[in-house]
Amino acid sequence: MYITLQQNDFVKIKDKDNIYYGGNQAWYSVKVARKSACGTIAATNILIYLSMTNKKYTSLYSFDNKNITKYDYKKYMNEVYEYLYPINVNGIFGVEEGSSTYNFLKSIHIADLTIGIPTVNYFCSGVKAFVRSKNVEPLNINIFKGRWETYDMKEYIVEALRKNIPIAMLNVFNKNLKNIAYNYVDGRPSYADFDKHWVTITGIRVNDYTKKISIEVSSWGTRAVLYLDDIASGSFLKGMVYLE
């Protein structure tokens, strides 16, 4: 079994000769965002995809959703960031990067401490606020409330993908999701840790022989593959949500 979104390229972002599969938090100019705004990128991806596939939400995206450039995507992800941003020491105390207070905090190694987008509820609150700002019909929010077991997770993901809706997923402190192989946009192989990270689920596959279940995800502007067994057994904190 293999189920994927109807738009095979998902959120296809063009930048000269490069084609990205969704956005990349590394495109933010703010250090804290580059470090921990993966949840904001997941939200940005999903909001753009909804604008592409659901006429009710066309106006969610401020630019041309038939020709998504990196330049436009970066402007839009900054719009979303105004409503959904990482929780960090600087923000809590109103400290601006480069200020004397920031430099002091940096000297004691706490200037850029962050817990990112820490929960599904925090994620949803930011998304709802952003949608209200666009004066469009409120989204229906479907949070996963099943058991964190492979079967329940699979059924939830299949339900969303059959509706042609991507899923935002959070994993925190999952030793099984360290050093995961994936490819850069240009095809070069690399490894990354997904153990404290939001991703956007775009596909699911059940191996006909082993019955092992894998999911395709968008992260860092490219595609990666994770396994549900690893997610079910390893994460200290997990969350999934889809929007329609």
Q: pLDDT, tens digit, for every residue of 192-206?
A: 888 889 999 999 999
Question: How far apart are alpha carbons 234 and 111 in whole angstroms?
Answer: 30
Question: How far apart are alpha carbons 125 and 144 in whole angstroms?
Answer: 16
Helix (H) or strand (E) holding 157: helix 150-162
The average pLDDT across 2-7 equals 94
Neighbours of 46 (CB within 10 A): 24
pLDDT > 90? residue 174: no
The average pLDDT across 182-190 equals 80
Environment class of residue 134 by beta-carbon count within 10 Å: exposed (0-12), middle (13-18) or buried (19+)? middle
Amino acid at 115: I
Question: How far apart are alpha carbons 41 and 50 in whole angstroms?
Answer: 14
- At 195 the pLDDT is 87
CATH class of 2-243: alpha beta
Question: How far apart are alpha carbons 84 and 110 in whole angstroms?
Answer: 22
pLDDT > 80? residue 90: no
- At 233 the pLDDT is 83
Domain boundaries, the chain: 2-243
- At 197 the pLDDT is 94
Question: How far apart are alpha carbons 158 and 163 in whole angstroms?
Answer: 9
- At 179 the pLDDT is 86
Distances from the Cα of 214 to the Cαs of 130, 140, 159, in angstroms? 31, 26, 15
- At 41 the pLDDT is 98
Q: pLDDT, tens digit, for every residue of 96-110?
A: 666 775 566 555 555
pLDDT grade, residue 208 (50/70/90)?
confident
- At 88 the pLDDT is 73
Q: pLDDT, tens digit, for every residue of 27-60?
A: 999 888 999 999 999 999 999 999 999 999 999 9
- At 201 the pLDDT is 98
Q: Which percentage of the chain shows pLDDT scores above 70?
A: 89
CB 142 within 8 A of CB 242: yes
Question: How far apart are alpha carbons 29 and 151 in whole angstroms?
Answer: 40
Q: pLDDT, tens digit, for every residue of 107-141?
A: 555 556 677 899 999 999 999 999 999 998 889 99
Chain centre distance of CA 123: 10
- At 243 the pLDDT is 96
pLDDT grade, residue 8 (50/70/90)?
confident
CB 96 within 8 A of CB 102: yes
- At 82 the pLDDT is 96
Closest-CA residue to 165 (of 59, 49, 45)? 49
The average pLDDT across 79-97 equals 75
- At 21 the pLDDT is 96
* Beta strand 68-69 pairing with 12-15: parallel
pLDDT, the chain, mean? 89
What backbone torsions phi and psi does residue 41 show, to the nearest 5 degrees? -65, -40
